[in-house]
Structure 1
Amino acid sequence: MARRAFLHVGTAKSGTSYLQDLWWRHHDELRDRGLLLPGAGRRDHFTAAAVVKGMSAVLDTLSDREQDAWRRVLDEAGDWSGDVLVSNEHFADTPDRAARRALSELAAVAGEVHVVVTARDLGRVLPSAWQQRVKMGARQPYRRFLGSVRHGEDDQKFWRYQDVPAILRRWSADLPADRVHLVVVPPSGAPRDELWRRSAAVLGVDVAGLDTEVRRANDSLGLVEAELLRRINERLPRAGRTPELTRRIKGTFVPEALAGAAPSEPFVLPVQHAGWVQERSAEMVASLRAAPFDVVGDLDDLLAGAPREGRTPGDATDDELLAAAREVLHRLGHDGADSLDTALDLVAGDLVRRFSAG
């Protein structure tokens, strides 16, 4: 039986990829130091989360072995005498009953169960969340997305992944408050490894001497590239948008053909949305201050800051988009295009030919 089981449930866009990359890179060293990550890699934890959550669209595509991912995690934890860590942001959106069942199953194979939530301020999360959705096939323009988040309230998908107090309540059922941990993502300008060190403190693992250099290619998109991808999504037939096509676009096309196709320009939260974002942030922070959970970091860092000057993806011009599309076509081995419409059709057609068959 494991000594302690740590379940890191998100939130999305809170440094989860950074942490998971480091945890899996140092899988062997962490094991030697008493912390086991069950499974062979990040996908095992994703499939485990899909099973726990009941993600039917994903489950229908999994092999029999993948369908058994959560059970294999539990079995490995039960055979380990040290600490165990399972991490995937899709756990955040797990229904209440399924979350309780998962905690109970972990309690059967570990002496203590701990839940870890990492969180970042909404002002930084919203642009990042929209970009992530576009990578997954979304067609919704950025400003329309912000409006839907503002008015959608708790039944809007964004909040199921980002309502930090609600996520903590869902995953703290029957757990002592000191075993529910909120790790605040440091503000911009903090040392890059501060989140890594805060998380290590919660896990109680010695990470001294472990390399924290970012090695994965940075496939974060600037506003022109993000808007170009959204418009490409509009050209892809909905009926052919399989999970496999989405994975291949996100994992291959975005980092290899799209990222860097236009000058890097981050996009901002529009001024007209700053007020409600700041208000919602303040409400969440007030709720968290009143909660008994263990907080690592400063809750004030979850307050959305003042709006910054800058453009949004909808401000990208056709000339900018065409130039980026021509660069993408060049990388894909095609000649240029005379118009933006032609370029978008060519890229979309190439993606279907390359990736639709899996």
Structure 2
Amino acid sequence: MFLHVGTAKSGTTYLQDLWWRHRDELRERGLLLPGTGRREHFTAAALVKGMSAHVERLDPHELATWQRLVDEARDWLGDVLVSNEHFADSPPDAAAAALTDLAGAAEEVHVVITARDLGRVLPSAWQQRVKMGARQPYRRFLATVRRGEDDQKFWRYQDVPAIADRWSAGLPSDRVHLAVVPPSGAPRDELWSRTAAVLGLDVTGLDAEARRPNDSLGLVEAELLRQVNERIPRPRRSPALTRHIKGSFVPEALAGSATRESFVLPARHHGWVLERSQASVAELGARAYDVVGDLADLLPADPRAGRTPDDATVAELLAAATTVLARLGDATAPATLDQALDLVTADLLRRSGPQRGTSAQ
């Protein structure tokens, strides 16, 4: 039984897309993905870790999801894989209970952790938070992560040694597998190959190209979305609105509304990120986990020149907002989103005259 617990922003979407796309072929090769789809693995993770906001909306059939996956694993004669990054955030007692359940369904239980260097994770994590409705500017996000303010949940999903501790209780160390995401410039399918090695899986002949649309945003687009979030009253930020923004607004209207410009980890943050990463690498290296890849790849690359979302100008944001409004046209969108976008655009228009070209912040 292989339980892939994350971490977030470590290629999990890419891997899960491939595992589910090739589900039938993997089954023929001896690996079962139990359940009916990715959503059930998310629900299982929510049940295990006690994600009350989600669990409270589940019907009786959905509330039995985790037990159904365990039962399918018990009935299958080959290997089994369950994957969702929300398992990483489970408290110790919940992780221990889940491992006990799995131990009753399989001869061997293995935990798989994928991990990526913090220099790339931090920008990606902030963008993901913004897609989920966060209002926090990028610079403030980095500061709160650094200081661990406000019960910063970032570390609950990214403290790899702590996650390994929670999910290795009672397991032999060689059944805790750490697949390191290769550095930028490596072949994209290298992570696919590394996780296949962990699973003891022959993936010869299986297409490893990403097919899900890449809806990552450039710095101007991400900052525009953050400012839209600021104009949405918190009581009106519903799960349905978040799903619409992530599933429709971002890929169909926002992505590509400005020149694609990736944003960087500012050089002033490189020192503490490197220090934290070095400590994690040393801690992981002192343990006997099965590491696939090089732990040194968890160290951030040297700082590089570039801008951040905080550097987006009023002119750039106004041009992107105008493009988004034109794309929306007569399309039906939630009134809350339309109103917020109109407010942002009006504010940018007001500021664009004598302040054209100045920082949006």
TM-score (norm 2): 0.91
The answer for the alignment partner of 1:278 in structure 2 is 274
Paired residues of 2:144 and 2:150 also in contact (CA < 8 A): no
Distance in 2 (CA, whole Å) between partners of 1:97 and 1:6 is: 19
Distance in 1 (CA, whole Å) between partners of 2:306 and 2:316 is: 16
Distance in 2 (CA, whole Å) between partners of 1:153 and 1:137 is: 19
Distance in 1 (CA, whole Å) between partners of 2:80 and 2:17 is: 16
What are the ranges of 5 or more consecutive residues in structure 2 without an aligned counterpart? Answer: 332-337, 346-361
Counterpart selection for 1:288 from 280, 284, 287: 284
Q: Cα offset for 1:154?
A: 11
The amino acid across from 2:8 in the alignment is A
What are the ranges of 5 or more consecutive residues in structure 1 without an aligned counterpart? Answer: 336-341, 350-358
The answer for the alignment partner of 1:217 in structure 2 is 213
Counterpart selection for 2:10 from 14, 22, 36: 14
The answer for the alignment partner of 2:241 in structure 1 is 245
The answer for the alignment partner of 1:52 in structure 2 is 48
Q: Cα offset for 1:348?
A: 8.3
Paired residues of 1:9 and 1:117 also in contact (CA < 8 A): yes
- The 5 A counterparts of 1:300-339 are 300-333=296-329
The answer for the alignment partner of 1:111 in structure 2 is 107
Counterpart selection for 1:29 from 25, 42, 47: 25
Q: Cα offset for 1:244?
A: 2.3
Q: Cα offset for 1:347?
A: 7.8
Secondary structure, counterpart of 1:78 in structure 2: helix
Percent identity between matched residues is 72
Distance in 1 (CA, whole Å) between partners of 2:116 and 2:29 is: 29
Q: Cα offset for 1:334?
A: 5.3
The amino acid across from 2:70 in the alignment is L
The amino acid across from 2:100 in the alignment is S
1:128 corresponds to 2:124:
yes
Distance in 1 (CA, whole Å) between partners of 2:104 and 2:150 is: 32
Paired residues in the alignment total 339
Paired residues of 1:183 and 1:198 also in contact (CA < 8 A): yes
The answer for the alignment partner of 1:38 in structure 2 is 34
Q: Cα offset for 1:253?
A: 1.4
1:102 corresponds to 2:92:
no
Distance in 2 (CA, whole Å) between partners of 1:261 and 1:15 is: 25
Distance in 2 (CA, whole Å) between partners of 1:78 and 1:331 is: 50
112-121 or 318-327: bigger deviation: 318-327
Secondary structure, counterpart of 1:111 in structure 2: coil
Q: Cα offset for 1:62?
A: 2.2
Distance in 1 (CA, whole Å) between partners of 2:237 and 2:196 is: 39
What is the RMSD computed on CA atoms of the aligned residues?
1.7
Paired residues of 1:329 and 1:347 also in contact (CA < 8 A): no
- The 5 A counterparts of 1:184-199 are 184-199=180-195
**CA deviations over 1:28-74 (Å, ceiling 9, x no partner):** 00011000001111111000000001001111222322222111111
Paired residues of 2:229 and 2:340 also in contact (CA < 8 A): no
The amino acid across from 1:195 in the alignment is L
Distance in 1 (CA, whole Å) between partners of 2:11 and 2:150 is: 23
The answer for the alignment partner of 1:181 in structure 2 is 177
The amino acid across from 1:87 in the alignment is S
TM-score (norm 1): 0.92
Distance in 2 (CA, whole Å) between partners of 1:225 and 1:72 is: 41
Distance in 2 (CA, whole Å) between partners of 1:155 and 1:164 is: 17
- The 5 A counterparts of 1:75-94 are 75-94=71-90
Q: Cα offset for 1:256?
A: 1.4
Counterpart selection for 2:138 from 139, 142, 160: 142
Secondary structure, counterpart of 1:263 in structure 2: coil
1:227 corresponds to 2:223:
yes
Distance in 1 (CA, whole Å) between partners of 2:344 and 2:68 is: 39
**CA deviations over 1:94-124 (Å, ceiling 9, x no partner):** 0000000000000111110000000000000
Secondary structure, counterpart of 2:319 in structure 1: helix
